[in-house]
Amino acid sequence: MKHAAPHWNDGRRAVGAVSKAIEEIEQELGVLFRRGRALSHELAETVHPGLEPGHYAFLARLEEVGAGRPSELAAYFHIGKATAGRQLTCLESLGLVTRRPDPEDGRAHLLQLTPEGQARMHAARTQRRETFLTRLSTWEEQDLSSLARLLSRFNAEFS
């Protein structure tokens, strides 16, 4: 989806209301990201004490896709295979992830959540949803729908 170009000055900088809005968006995104990191720490702790947010992200991705190769997970998170391997080994040792041969390629393995991992992720997801319900309980349904629509549009611009 193409959007109208912002108003520019000769130096190719956004001016006026557009520039002010962009500054406000940058500031609010900074706050959102910091709070998101804090929430990720809390959710990771909900899954398992001492679990890092990066581990939680791997679990969330496996929950989303069902199963995945370590190389696919590394590519998805833009990290090296060795880093992904260390994180996945930790999750396996905690009994949250299991590894099985890939039926399409006998040389590769697929990772998926164990029943314990699924149960813990379900509990974390329930807690996350309750947090949102509590924090946004005073919002009108139309405002919630608008926020969801705008976040979706924003994310699409950066994909």
Q: State pLDDT tens for residues 68-86.
A: 999 999 999 999 999 999 9
> Has residue 112 been placed in a domain?
yes
Between 106 and 59, whose confidence is greater? 59
Residue 11 has pLDDT above 80, yes or no: no
> What CATH number should be reported for the domain holding residue 134?
1.10.10.10
Measured on CA atoms in the order 152, 153, 155, 159, is the torsion positive or negative?
A: positive
Q: Identify the band that residue 9 occupies on the pLDDT scale cut at 50, 70 and 90.
A: low
Q: Is residue 10 part of a domain?
A: no
5 occurs within a structural domain = no
pLDDT of residue 20: 86
Give exposure, 70-107, as e/b (b: 16+ Cβ within 10 Å). bebbbeeeeeeeeebeebbebbeebebbbeeeeeeeee
Provide the domain count of the chain.
1
134 lies in a domain?
Answer: yes
Residue 7 has pLDDT above 80, yes or no: no
pLDDT one-digit tens code per residue, 14-66: 567 778 888 999 999 999 999 999 988 999 999 999 899 999 999 999 999 99
Residue with the bigger pLDDT between 159 and 49: it is 49
Q: Where are the beta strands (DSSP E) in the chain?
A: 97-102, 105-113
pLDDT at 74: 95
In a domain, 6, yes or no: no
Whether 8 is covered by a domain: the verdict is no
What average pLDDT does the chain have? 90
**Domain range for 50:** 16-157
